[in-house]
């Protein structure tokens, strides 16, 4: 974790201006929108995408849970996922007969990279009585070895409804510890962290609070427990978006990846939103250019064996079953 000085904070905020090159941007956006119609394609985009993607070409913008539900409901033949690998894999698991493409092979996730299917098999042997719950930020191979999947929008609800007293929660160590503080389960941790959210801390919040009176601090569930404790609310990116809409504060600090801020500013142009620019290098791999190429060539395509899809889908189905009925 880092403790940033005011100067560093300012420099970080200035770096926030990560956008696509403006050269021929409108033409590229028009071409993508035309190709989408010709190919009956849908573009699903996470909140952390660049504005050109969210505003110019996306059909749905949301958090991991929203996007998995949109993937399940789409009638398009082709799904272009402007997000990261595990999200595109989830769309494929839920739509095995559709073509799913992810514009960059480099769009991974530090959490998903922290654990393998072999690691989960070992955990199963070490904790035979425990349920194994995976955060959605894992590969299809890992999901195939787990009992249930969760996202940051439904983790406490889904995990507290599991019959087991002990739950192995992978791979996010901080989220596991946050869950243990909130629900009546014994949680066994893995040691993955998010390279973005591990950078926030109490010092960071104190510094902003001292400069911005009436500030509400919103922290993503992937922040560590002491950081969450110092925030006014915590949850998924959609929870943070909803909180801004439902409350009336002088200003809001979003302790998450910088991309969410532009969506919330668009929702509430009258509110003061501070989106410190912690950049997810994986999410920012996706650009208008590689999305245009991906849609034109219909690749890189997500391919997962039928065996893995069938097993991984069980953990997702269980998540929907244990969540509220309106979560499906
Ligand atoms: P959300 O589902 O809350 O959008 O989180 C996804 C993610 O990768 C956060 O870093
Ligand atoms: Fe993974 Fe963190 Fe990037 Fe989300 S923000 S995709 S959890 S590395």
Q: Is the CB of 262 under 6 A from ligand 1?
A: no
What interhelical angle do 259-267 and 237-246 show, nearest 10?
A: 30
- Which residue has a Cα nearest atom 2 of ligand 1? 64
- Residue 138 Cβ contacting ligand 2 at under 6 Å: no
In a domain, 158, yes or no: yes
Contact 222 CB / ligand 1 (< 6 Å): yes
Q: Are residues 14 and 103 part of one domain?
A: yes
The answer to whether residues 150 and 323 touch, using CB atoms and an 8 Å cutoff, is: no
Residue 92 in any domain: the answer is yes
Assess whether 184 and 126 both reside in one domain: yes
The dihedrals phi and psi of 226, each to the nearest 5 degrees, come to -70, -30
Ligand 1 mean position, distance from CA 221 (Å): 9
CA nearest to 238, candidates 275, 265, 266, 263: 263
Contacts 24+ apart (CB under 8 A), 200-205: 200/1, 200/227, 200/255, 200/278, 201/1, 201/2, 201/3, 201/226, 201/227, 202/226, 202/227, 202/229, 202/230, 203/3, 203/4, 204/3, 204/4, 204/9, 204/255, 204/276, 205/230, 205/231, 205/253, 205/255
In this prediction, residue 30 carries a pLDDT of 95
Asked if the structure places residue 327 within a domain, the reply is no
Q: List, for the chain, all residue ranges whose pLDDT scores fall below the cut of 50.
A: 1-17, 325-328
Residues 256 and 131 in one domain: no
Same domain membership, residue 189 and residue 119? yes
Q: Indicate if 207 and 270 belong to the same structural domain.
A: yes
- Residue 78: domain span: 6-108+283-297
pLDDT of residue 277: 75
Same domain, 94 and 222: no
Specify if 259 maps to a domain.
yes
- Is 94 domain-assigned? yes
pLDDT (0 to 100) of residue 328:
38
- Same domain, residue pair 183 and 214: no
- Decide if 98 is inside a domain: yes
Ligand showing the shortest atom-to-Cα distance for residue 85: 2
252 in the same domain as 291: no
Compute the C-alpha angle 321/322/323, nearest 5°.
95
Task: Based on DSSP, count helices (H) and strands (E) in the chain, helices before strands.
Answer: 15, 12
Instruction: Specify the pTM.
Output: 0.92
Residues 222, 264, single domain; the answer is yes
Reported as a single tens digit per residue, the pLDDT across 284-324 is: 999 999 999 999 999 999 999 999 999 999 999 999 999 96
> Do 31 and 91 belong together in one domain?
yes
Flag whether 186 is in a domain.
yes
Distance CA(187)–CA(180), nearest Å, equals: 6
Q: What pLDDT is stored for residue 24 in this prediction?
A: 85
User: What local confidence, expressed as pLDDT, does residue 13 receive?
Assistant: 38
Chain-centroid distance, C-alpha 229? 21
Return the structure tokens found at 61: 């913008």
Cα angle: 105, vertex 107, 110; to 5 degrees: 125
Instruction: Report how far residue 81's alpha carbon sits from residue 58's, in angstroms, rounded to the nearest whole number.
Output: 9
Q: Which atom of ligand 1 is nearest to the CA of 280?
A: 10
Q: How many CB atoms lie within 10 A of CB 328?
A: 12
Which atom of ligand 2 is closest in space to residue 112's alpha carbon?
1
CATH number for position 76: 3.40.50.10800
Distance CA 150, CA 172 (A): 12
How confident is the model at residue 6, as a pLDDT?
A: 43
Q: Per the domain annotation, does 1 fall within a domain?
A: no
Specify the DSSP element, H or E, that contains 297.
Answer: helix 288-297
117 & 249 share domain: no
Q: Tell whether 42 and 60 lie within a shared domain.
A: yes
Domain count, the chain: 3
- CA separation for the pair 140, 152 (Å, rounded): 18
């Amino acid at each position: 974790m880092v403790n940033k000085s005011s100067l560093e904070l300012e420099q970080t905020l200035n770096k926030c201006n990560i956008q696509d090159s403006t050269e021929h941007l409108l033409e590229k956006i028009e071409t993508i929108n035309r190709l989408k119609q010709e190919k009956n394609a849908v573009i699903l985009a996470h909140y952390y995408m660049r504005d050109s993607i969210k505003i110019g070409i996306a059909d749905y913008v949301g958090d991991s849970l929203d996007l998995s539900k949109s993937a399940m409901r789409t009638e398009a033949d082709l799904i272009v996922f402007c997000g990261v690998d595990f999200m595109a894999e989830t769309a494929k698991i839920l739509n095995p007969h559709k073509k799913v493409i992810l514009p960059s092979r480099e769009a991974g996730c530090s959490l998903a990279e922290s654990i393998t299917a072999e690691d989960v098999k070992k955990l199963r042997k070490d904790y035979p009585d425990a349920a194994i719950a995976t955060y959605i930020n894992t590969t299809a191979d890992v999901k195939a070895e787990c009992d249930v999947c969760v996202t940051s929008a439904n983790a406490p609800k889904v995990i507290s409804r599991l019959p087991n007293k002990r739950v192995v929660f992978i791979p996010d160590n901080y989220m596991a510890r946050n869950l243990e503080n909130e629900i009546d389960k014994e949680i066994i941790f893995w040691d993955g962290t998010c390279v973005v959210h591990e950078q926030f801390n109490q010092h960071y919040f104190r510094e902003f609070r001292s400069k911005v009176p009436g500030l509400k601090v919103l922290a993503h569930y992937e922040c560590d427990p002491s950081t969450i404790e110092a925030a006014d609310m915590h949850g998924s990116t959609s929870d943070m978006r909803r909180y801004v809409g439902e409350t009336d504060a002088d200003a809001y600090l979003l302790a998450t990846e910088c991309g969410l801020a532009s969506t919330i500013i668009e929702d509430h142009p009258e509110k003061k939103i501070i989106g410190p620019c912690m950049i997810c290098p994986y999410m920012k791999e996706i650009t208008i250019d590689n999305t245009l190429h991906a849609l034109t060539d219909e690749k890189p395509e997500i391919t997962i064996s039928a065996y893995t899809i069938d097993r991984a889908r069980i953990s997702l189905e269980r998540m929907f079953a244990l969540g509220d009925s309106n979560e499906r």
